[in-house]
């Protein structure tokens, strides 16, 4: 019973060709997060949505954008992928933001390869 | 600043206990989490501890928190081959908007 679903599991794109990764959730959580995880590294937060409010991390490149058309879906758009953007991209959700215990629940990730 | 560190590798024999350690630097941590990541998969929340607790037990998992030394550990009793994975500790900071700072991850290998 997957609650945070990422599609596709594997994505291959060409250098410079825009790509969109998808995340959906059945938890009705307010917050959705996107992380980038490179090989043998910890996940790195790119941005998050609190409801419709978008919050970008200071060091997230402009090449990365996100859209959240409704509560259930969130998209990660990479406008011009470079070789350095090859990574696993993880989506996570939480009910709220730190008012009390708000664990983040992760999807299985999309592994992005750049040719 | 926030910094969370873990040892990179741990190898144990099946049936033994595993202890994965984590140190953190920010004293205003609210919750500390343990996540498990199997190859090619996302992060699975295993357990967590609130920073005013010393210990939490959940079936085969025991979390110990030494707040004075800023040291967190995860003990897995009767380790099985299915426990082979990367284990990340993570902290969330009071007033940090639920942002998680992850450790570097510990690769646990369980040998027969």
B82 three-class SS: helix
- Number of alpha carbons in the 13 Å side-chain half-sphere of residue A97: 14
**Angstrom distance (rounded) from CA A52 to CA B58:** 36
- What confidence score (pLDDT) does residue B26 get? 77
The residues on B that touch A, with CB distances below 8 Å, are: 30-31, 33, 35, 40-45, 48, 50, 88, 92, 94-100, 102-105
- Where are the extended beta strands (E) located within A1-115? 4-7, 10-13, 19-25, 31-37, 44-50, 53-56, 64-67, 73-78, 87-94, 105-106, 110-114
pLDDT in tens, chain A (115 residues): 669 999 999 999 999 999 999 999 999 999 999 999 998 889 999 999 999 999 999 999 999 999 999 999 999 999 999 999 999 999 999 988 766 668 899 999 999 999 9
Q: What is the CA radius of gyration of chain B?
A: 13
Q: Mind listing the pLDDT tens digit for each residue in B48-99?
A: 998 888 999 999 999 999 988 999 999 999 999 999 999 999 988 766 667 8
Dihedral sign computed on CA atoms, order B32, A73, A76, A10? positive
Residue A25: how many other CB atoms lie within 10 Å: 21
> Is the CB of residue B32 less than 8 Å from the CB of residue B89?
yes
- Residues of chain A contacting B6 with CB distance shorter than 8 Å: none
Q: Do A6 and B95 touch (CB under 8 A)?
A: no
Mutate to test the interface with A, among B44, B48, B92, B98 (most CBs of A within 10 A): B98
Q: What is the CA radius of gyration of chain A?
A: 13
Dihedral sign computed on CA atoms, order B94, B31, B43, A37? positive
Residue A11: how many other CB atoms lie within 10 Å: 18
Nearest to B89 by CA among B48, B39, B33: B33
- Residues of chain B contacting A41 with CB distance shorter than 8 Å: 104-105
Nearest to B98 by CA among A75, A55, A79: A55
Q: Which residue has the tokens 């953007």?
A: A85
């Amino acid at each position: 019973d997957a609650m945070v679903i990422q599609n596709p599991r594997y994505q291959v794109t060409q250098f410079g060709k825009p790509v969109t990764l998808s995340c959906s959730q059945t938890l009705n959580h307010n917050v959705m997060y996107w992380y980038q995880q490179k090989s043998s590294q910890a996940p790195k937060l790119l941005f998050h949505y609190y409801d419709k409010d978008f919050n970008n991390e200071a060091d997230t490149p402009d090449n990365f954008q996100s859209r959240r058309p409704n509560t259930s879906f969130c998209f990660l758009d990479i406008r011009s992928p470079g070789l350095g953007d090859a990574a696993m991209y993880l989506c996570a959700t939480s009910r709220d933001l730190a008012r009390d215990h708000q664990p983040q629940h992760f999807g299985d990730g999309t592994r992005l390869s750049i040719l | 600043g926030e910094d969370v560190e873990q040892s990179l590798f741990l190898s144990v024999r099946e049936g033994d206990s595993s202890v994965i350690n984590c140190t953190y630097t920010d004293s205003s941590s609210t919750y500390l989490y343990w996540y498990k990541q199997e190859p090619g998969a996302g992060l699975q929340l295993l357990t967590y501890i609130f920073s005013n607790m010393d210990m939490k037990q959940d079936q085969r998992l025991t979390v110990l928190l030494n707040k004075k030394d800023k040291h967190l550990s995860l003990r897995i009793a009767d380790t099985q081959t299915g426990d082979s994975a990367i284990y990340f500790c993570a902290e969330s900071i009071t007033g940090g908007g639920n942002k998680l700072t992850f450790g570097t991850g510990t690769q646990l290998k369980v040998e027969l």
